[in-house]
């Protein structure tokens, strides 16, 4: 029995559907707070069938984490391409990073949870998959510094990490922190993100051409 062909989810393999369901639940209730029973229910199979595809809960956890990082990694080139030159593209790049996580907030929440639950593993995985790319950004910023376009008091590496922390944190805890903004105004998300981009920009570029030149 197969579901409707029009539904994009219908074409996913059972493995993929398990990973997707697990990601959502791990993100929402945490790893320890999620039972295999609940994941199996969400997929529409029985628990032992789930354990046939993933031999233990820990293996499933790892698969979910790998999946999120793989998606992130595969999106990075596209995101970076948008920030390759100038201030306008830079704003677009940060915005695109935000949209990547915002498109499925469970990605951000999962990463935050795993950073808390297994810092050593996440540290290793990020170093392996994401760091090479951030290295490109760091080089780009340093180039901008040598050309006088970028503030020279910027610590490029710390800057990148800080912006990433802000982006992921903003998406993951967005609902809560947004409630601190003026009651519950409609444009909370937009305001928060535009302030994020503004902060990132103000912290990076010289406001106007250096006075000496």
Q: Is 36 in the site for DNA (CB under 7 A)?
A: yes
Which residue, 134, 143, 149, 146, is CA-closest to 93? 134
Helices and strands (H, E) in the chain, number of each type: 11, 0
Residues numbered 47-66 forming contacts with DNA, rule: CB under 7 A: 47-49, 51-53, 55-58
Q: By CB under 7 A, which span of 45-53, 78-86, 98-106, 116-124 interacts with DNA? A: 45-53
As a whole number of angstroms, the distance between CA 3 and CA 148 comes to 58
Nearer to a second copy, 77 or 203 (CB): 203
Q: Is 37 in the site for a second copy (CB under 8 A)?
A: no
* Long-range pairs for 29-33: beta carbons < 8 A, 24 or more residues apart: 30/113, 30/117, 31/57, 31/61, 31/113, 31/117
Nearer to DNA, 58 or 187 (CB): 58
As a whole number of angstroms, the distance between CA 178 and CA 181 comes to 5
Q: Is 9 in the site for DNA (CB under 7 A)?
A: no
Contact residue for DNA among 45, 80, 96, 164 (CB under 7 A): 45
> From the CB of 7, what's the least distance to a second copy, in Å?
29
As a whole number of angstroms, the distance between CA 100 and CA 106 comes to 11
Contact residue for DNA among 25, 34, 134, 192 (CB under 7 A): 34
């Amino acid at each position: 029995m197969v579901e409707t062909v029009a539904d994009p989810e219908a074409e996913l393999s059972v493995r993929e559907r398990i990973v997707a369901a697990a990601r959502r639940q791990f993100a929402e209730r945490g790893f320890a707070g999620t039972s295999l029973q609940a994941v199996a229910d969400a997929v529409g199979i029985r628990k032992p069938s789930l354990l046939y595809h993933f031999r233990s809960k820990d293996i499933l956890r790892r698969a979910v984490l790998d999946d999120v990082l793989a998606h992130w990694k595969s999106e990075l080139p596209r995101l970076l391409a948008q920030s390759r030159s100038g201030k306008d593209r830079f704003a677009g790049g940060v915005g695109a990073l935000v949209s990547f996580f915002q498109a499925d907030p469970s990605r951000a929440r999962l990463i935050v949870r795993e950073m808390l639950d297994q810092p050593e593993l996440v540290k290793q995985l990020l170093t392996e998959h994401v760091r090479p790319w951030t290295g490109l950004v760091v080089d780009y910023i340093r180039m901008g510094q040598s050309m006088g376009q970028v503030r020279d008091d910027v610590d490029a590496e710390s800057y990148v990490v800080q912006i990433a922390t802000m982006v992921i944190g903003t998406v993951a805890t967005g609902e809560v922190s947004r409630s601190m903004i003026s009651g519950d105004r409609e444009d909370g998300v937009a305001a928060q993100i535009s302030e994020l981009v503004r902060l990132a920009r103000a912290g990076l570029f010289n406001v106007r051409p250096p006075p000496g030149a």
